[in-house]
Structure 1
Amino acid sequence: MSKLTLHVETDPMTFKQPLRIAGHIFTGIPAVRVRLEGGGIVGRGEASGVYYTGDTLDHMLSVLEDYRAFIEDGPDRESLRHIMPAGGARNAIDAALWERESLGQGIPVWKLAGLSPPVPLVTTFTLSADPPAQMLRQLESYAGARAIKLKLDGDFEADRERIRLVRQHRPGIWFMVDANQGYRVESLDALLPTLVEAEVSLLEQPVPRGGEAGLEYIRSPVPIAADESLLGLEDMAGLVGRFQVANIKLDKCGGLTEALAMQALARKVGLGVMVGNMAGSSLAAAPAFLLGQRCDFVDLDGPAFIATDMPDPVSYRDGRIHCPPTLWGMPNLA
C-alpha cells in the first residue's frame, strides 16, 4: 500500500433532452469524478449513483469523505470491496484503482481482468416513455441502431401503443422494453400478449424490488431481466426461478471488480447477463464496456444522452459502442 491523494469533483451531467421512465423524469443525473494520485500515476473514475436507493450526489460525496483516509492509504481492490459499502462512491474508486494498476504495470485493464482484447459491442439505444409523436422522432434519430430499448411508464394503454409503434416503424430490429418497476405481477398477464405480438426479446424489471416472488407464478414467453432487484452479489441467488437475465450495473454493485464476480456467478446459476448504465460520461462507460465483453446484452448508450462528454469519448457507429484504447487505463495500441 502506498500513500495516495484523492481529488473529487462533480459534474451536473445534463441530458440533451429529458428522459422519462415510470415515476420519474430526468433532465440529467449529476456525477462524481475522482482522481487518485501517487507515485507519478493518476487513476480516474466516475459514478452517478443509484437514484432509487438514495445514492445521490451528496451521498456519494459524503461516503468519499468518510472513507478518505482509507482510500488515501492505497488499498487494493479486494480490500476496497470489503471495507467500503457498495454504490457509486466505491465504483468510482474501484475504477481509479484499476487504472492505476494498469498504468503502473503497463498492462491494459482488459488483460489485468483476464479478458480477451475488447471489440465494439452492439448496444441498445433508449427511447424515453414520451408521447408517441415525440418518441417516433427520437426513434428516427436512431437510424443506425441494431437494438432498441423502450422505457415504459406503467400506463397500460399508452405502453401498448408505444410498443406497437416501435415495432411498426422498425420491423426488423432487436427490441426490448424496460418497465422500471412500473407494473404489478397481477397486471403482467395483460401486457404479455402485446410483447409477444411485437416480438419483444426482453422485458426488464416489470415489478418493484421486493415483489419478485410473484414472478415465480408467471409463465412469460419473453425472458425477464432483473435490474432494480439486483444490486450486488448477495441478490443473485434470489433471482433464480424468477428472472432469466441479470442486469449488472457498476454504480449498483460498486465497481468492475464486483461486477466481474457477479457475471461469473450469474453464469454458474444459469442466468443470462446484461450490462447497463443509467447515465454517465465515456469515463463511466469504459469499465462497463469491458464487462460487456462477457455479456449477452449490452445497454451502454448513456454517454449519447449527455450534453457534454469528455475528450476522446466512446463513439457509436453501425449500432455499436466503440471504446478508444486511450480512454481509460494503459492503451494497447498494437
Structure 2
Amino acid sequence: MLRTLVARADAFALARPFRISRGVKTVADVITVEIAADGAIGRGEGVPYPRYGETIAGALDQIALARDAVAAGATRDELLAVMPAGAARNAVDCALWDLETKLSGHSVTDRLGMPAIGATPTAMTVGLDTLPAMAAAARALADVPLIKIKVDRTDPAQQIRVVRAVAPNPRIIVDPNESWTMAEVEALQPLLAELRVDLLEQPLPADADDGLDGFRPLVPIAADESAHVAGDVGVLAGKYQVINIKLDKTGGLTGALALADAAAAAGLGVMTGSMISTSLSIAPALVIAARSAFVDLDGPLWLAADRDGGVRGTDGVLEPPSPGFWGTV
C-alpha cells in the first residue's frame, strides 16, 4: 500500500501566557503530520521541546528522513527502529494509528479492547506568577476536580498555600519543573502533607535525581523529565512512585502503551501529561489517560483557538473530540 506523508509546522496562539520555572510560553509551536493511503488520511501532532534538545526544524528533518520508509509501508513497530523517541516520531506514529482507524473502520479503543473514551477529568493549571495572581487563578478553579500548581524555588510554600487557601476541595499536583534541591524536597514534605497535596511532580533535575533513591516521601513523587520510554522504568522504580507518560517523550501512542505496561509491571502508578498543544495531541493521550490515576491534558484549553472538532473542557472535565477527529470513525 503506497502512502504519502506531508509534514508542516503550525503555530497556535495562547489565550494567556503560560509560565513555569523555565520560562514563559505564548504560542504553541507544533508539527502536524498527514499520511494518506487509499483515499483515507491519518493525522498526528508532535510538540518539539527545547528541554530535550528538540526544534521544529529538527523534527521536520527527522520526519523527512523517515518519509521513504513510511511511504513504503513501515509499520508502527518498524517505526521504532527508524526514528528516535520524541516529538517527530509521535506525530508520525499517531498519524499511522489514525490512518489504520480510517482504513479498518474500527476505532483505536476497539482495536485495543478498551471502552470508548468518555468524559475525562483533567488537571487545570495554575501557572507560576505573583502570589495574588496565583490566588486569583486558583479561585476561578475552586470547583474543578484537580489543580496543578507550577512553582519554583522562590517561595514554593507560599505559592502552594495561596492556592489551597482559595481552593480547599480539589486534589492538587505540585510541579516544580526540576527546580528544587533534595534538601528542599525533604524540608517541604510536612507542608505538602498538611496541605493535602496528592502528587509532587519531578522536583529535582532529571540528571540529579539519585537523591530520591530509597527516599520515602509523605506525598508520592512522579517522574516526568526523568521518564521517557519503557526502558527507563528499571532505574526509576526505586526513586519514584508514579510515571508521567507524555507521547512527545515516548515517541507516540505505541511507545506510550509500552511504557504504561512497564510501569504497571514495576508497581508504579501512571499519570498522563502533555505539552501545550492542540487537541490533535490530546486525543491519543486520552487512551493512556484511561489507565491513569492522574491526568494533565489541559493544553488545548490554553489556546486562543483549537483545531476544529477538538476536545471541549468544562469545570475541569474534558469531553472527547468529535467523531472522526482522531482515532474514531
What residue is the counterpart of 2:209 in the other structure?
212
Report if aligned partners of 2:142, 2:170 keep a CA contact under 8 Å in 1: no
Deviations 1:228-267 (A, max 9, x none): 0001112111111110000000000100011011111111
Of stretches 66-75 and 233-242 in structure 1, the one that deviates more from structure 2 is: 66-75
Please state how far the C-alpha of 1:144 moved relative to its aligned partner: 4.3
Structure 2 counterpart SS, 1:45: strand
* 8 Å CA contact retained: 2:20, 2:177: yes
Report runs of 4+ in structure 1 exceeding 6 Å deviation.
none
When structure 1 is superposed on structure 2, of 16-25 and 296-305 the one drifting more is 16-25
Separation in 2 of the partners of 1:78 and 1:287?
A: 17
For the aligned residue pairs, the C-alpha RMSD in angstroms reads 1.4
Asked whether 1:245 is paired with 2:242, we answer yes
Correspondent of 1:328 among 322, 326, 329: 326
Report the AA paired with residue 191 of structure 1: L
CA distance in 1, matches of 2:134, 2:16: 12
Of the candidates 311, 316, 323, which is equivalent to residue 319 of structure 1? 316
CA distance in structure 2 between the aligned counterparts of 1:50 and 1:269, rounded to whole angstroms: 28
Contact 1:124 / 1:147 at 8 angstroms: preserved in 2? yes
Q: After alignment, is 207-216 or 87-96 more displaced?
A: 207-216
> Which residue matches 1:163?
160
Identity between Structure 1 and Structure 2 (%): 38
**In the alignment, is residue 257 of structure 1 matched against residue 286 of structure 2?**
no
Alpha-carbon distance, 1:28 to partner: 2.2
Specify the code of the residue in structure 1 equivalent to 2:206. Answer: R
The code of the aligned residue for 2:61 comes to S
Separation in 1, partners of 2:143, 2:72? 47
Q: Which residue of 1 aligns with 2:95?
A: 96
State the secondary structure of the residue aligned to 2:34: strand
Matches within 5 A, 1:262-301: 262-301=259-298
Give 3-state SS (helix, strand or coil) of 2:177's partner: coil
Alignment partners' CA distance in 2, 1:194 and 1:302? 28
CA contact (8 A) 1:50 1:252 kept: no
The alignment's TM-score, normalised by the length of structure 2, stands at 0.96
Q: Secondary structure at the match of 1:211?
A: helix
Superposed counterparts of 1:195-206, under 5 Å: 195-206=192-203
- Alpha-carbon deviation of 1:89? 0.8
Residue 138 of structure 1: SS of its match in structure 2?
helix
**Which ranges in structure 1 are unaligned for 5 or more consecutive residues?**
none
Matches of residues 10-159 of structure 1 in structure 2 within 5 Å? 10-155=9-154, 158-159=155-156
CA distance in 1, matches of 2:105, 2:10: 30
2:174 equivalent in structure 1: 177
Is contact 2:143–2:169 with CA below 8 Å preserved after alignment?
A: no
Deviation at 1:318, TM superposition (A): 4.0
Determine the C-alpha separation between the residues in 2 that align with 1:198 and 1:228: 25
Give me the TM-score of the superposition, normalised by structure 1.
0.95
**Which amino acid in 1 is paired with 2:263?**
A
Query: C-alpha displacement at 1:325, in angstroms?
Result: 4.6
5+ residue gaps, structure 2: none
Secondary structure of 2:188's counterpart equals helix
1:271 and 1:325 mapped to 2: Cα distance? 32
Equivalent AA in structure 1 for residue 139 of structure 2: E
Partner of 1:231, secondary structure, is coil
Q: How far apart are residue 182 of structure 1 and its match?
A: 0.4
Letter in structure 1 aligned against 2:255? E
Deviating more after overlay: 175-184 vs 12-21: 12-21
Please state how far the C-alpha of 1:317 moved relative to its aligned partner: 2.4
Superposition deviation, residue 216 in structure 1 = 1.9
CA distance in 2, matches of 1:59, 1:133: 39
Structure 2 counterpart of 1:309, from 306, 309, 313: 306
Distance, in Å, in 2 between the alignment partners of 1:73 and 1:225 is 39
* Alignment equivalent of 1:186, drawn from 183, 201, 206: 183
Partner SS, residue 210 of structure 1: helix
1:21–1:129 contact (8 Å) kept in structure 2: yes
Letter in 1 for 2:9: T
Shift of 1:278: 1.6
Aligned to 1:4: 3
